[in-house]
Amino acid sequence: MKPDIFESPDYYQVDDLLTEEHKLVRDAARSWVKKEVSPIIEDYAQKAEFPKQLLNGLAEIGAFGPYIPEVYGGAGLDQISYGLIMQEIERGDSGVRSTASVQSSLVMYPIFKYGTEAQRQKYLPKLASGEYMGCFGLTEPNHGSNPGGMETHFKDKGDHYLLNGAKMWISNAPFADIAVVWAKNEEGRIYGLIVERGMEGFTTPETHNKWSLRASATGELIFDNVKVPKENLLPNKSGLGAPLGCLDSARYGIAWGAIGAAMDCYDTALRYAKERVQFDKPIAATQLQQKKLAEMITEITKAQLLAWRLGVLRNEGKATSAQISMAKRNNVAMAIDIAREARQILGGMGITGEYSIMRHMMNLESVITYEGTHDIHLLITGADITGMSAFK
């Protein structure tokens, strides 16, 4: 792969909307990605292997629990810093951002929000440092977009719970030390349970043959009469709103992350178009390629402003779930469109691992599906503006 000479586009001076702390956090993450992620990531994606050596660095740049209070080992940052970290990591690779998203928003967040003080003390500092890695089990073989129908369940056996069921498509599952698992009790009420690797009857087979997020480890979670200690139940919120509340935080991070992938594709395509000469002139001097590039920077700029405004609303505690859905849907679709157009600008070179574009494009096929599909987020907006749900 070529050396990482990425230069971030900022057509509307969005930097002026950021504080000095935001820029410091963003620049630290950007330098780390250039030094540690870019040189190795293509190789790991080709091998379909997660680069575990990145875990310490992710912890050091504050990617594990950016907005979790420092008293629990988090970085204690605001929502815009969190978004900027996700943007920079996904500029490197969506799979690496996935690992950070899951750890922060889908494992640390529910323990922080719905857990007991003892659970916070036991797990959060170790998750923040990367000593423990976590995964989040919501999706099941028969229930993807409709997690409320989940079949995984637990029974109260007096001194423990007995957990049975299966989850699939779980990021980080093959190497996670703990899993936050969503299951129904005997009354059909959904709760989160912390399941630890090594508990008898708990296995995490890896999912192979993916053409997307190849540098991220994906797997199943199988629960065959797993005895879960009662102190591992997250007691402070139940119902479908509990896992969906975690998704709000992760979807917000993805709205920023997708901008990173789009910026990387745009920057690569712009540079290539200026250097590639056909018919005795750079292809950047042709109207057709300028149309592609001009539309890309327009869409990136709109996405930056959407994400920034959403970050302000989240900092003020005013962002709605439907607003988050709009940003996740718009920004991921924007990024995948830009990846496809950028790939064409590079002609045949665009399909090789010499450049990052094809990897981003394939990764984004997962990003547009997980954390709520493109269709589901449209239906969330539709329900919000009409007051009528079209899901069921």
With CA atoms as reference, report the closest residue to 129 among 93, 154, 104. 104
| The entry of ligand FAD, ligand TGC, none that residue 257 binds, CB within 5 to 8 Å by partner kind | none
Measured in whole angstroms, how far is the alpha carbon of residue 195 from the centre of its chain?
A: 22
Is residue 371 annotated as part of the catalytic site, yes or no?
A: yes
**Is residue 372 involved in binding ligand TGC (CB under 6 A)?**
yes
Q: Which helix (H) or strand (E) holds 385?
A: helix 374-386
Name the percent of the chain in helix, strand, coil, to the closest 5: 55, 15, 30
Which of 105, 119 has the CB closer to ligand FAD?
Answer: 105
> Cα–Cα distance between 221 and 179 in angstroms, integer?
9
Q: Return the residues of window 128-167 that contact ligand FAD according to CB under 6 A.
A: 135-139, 144-145
Write down the least CB distance from residue 144 to ligand TGC, Å.
7
**Is residue 325 involved in binding ligand FAD (CB under 6 A)?**
no
Q: Return the residues of window 230-259 that contact ligand TGC according to CB under 6 A.
A: 239-241, 244-245, 247-248, 250
Query: What are the strands, taking DSSP E only, across the chain?
Result: 134-137, 153-156, 160-171, 178-184, 190-196, 202-203, 218-229, 233-234, 277-278, 281-282
Write down the least CB distance from residue 103 to ligand FAD, Å.
11
Give 316's DSSP letter: T
Cα-Cα-Cα-Cα torsion 226, 228, 232, 234, nearest 10 degrees, comes to 60
- What are 348's two structure tokens? 């045949």
Of positions 42, 264, 341, 371, contacts ligand TGC by CB under 6 A: 371
What does residue 190 show for φ and ψ, rounded to 5 degrees?
A: -85, 130
CB of 295 closer than 8 Å to CB of 334 = no
| The entry of ligand TGC, ligand FAD, none that residue 241 binds, CB within 5 to 8 Å by partner kind | ligand TGC
**Is residue 109 involved in binding ligand FAD (CB under 6 A)?**
no
Of positions 234, 262, 269, 380, contacts ligand TGC by CB under 6 A: 380
**Is residue 202 involved in binding ligand FAD (CB under 6 A)?**
no
Write down the least CB distance from residue 172 to ligand TGC, Å.
8
Which of 179, 270 has the CB closer to ligand TGC?
Answer: 179
**Is residue 321 involved in binding ligand TGC (CB under 6 A)?**
yes
- What are 74's two structure tokens? 């988090």
With CA atoms as reference, report the closest residue to 180 among 188, 170, 189. 170
Catalytic residues: 371
Task: Tell me which residues touch ligand TGC (CB under 6 A).
Answer: 98, 101-102, 136, 138-139, 145-148, 171, 239-241, 244-245, 247-248, 250, 321, 370-372, 376, 380, 391
Contact residues: ligand FAD, CB under 6 A: 102, 135-139, 144-145, 169-171, 213, 218, 366, 369-371, 373, 375-376, 391
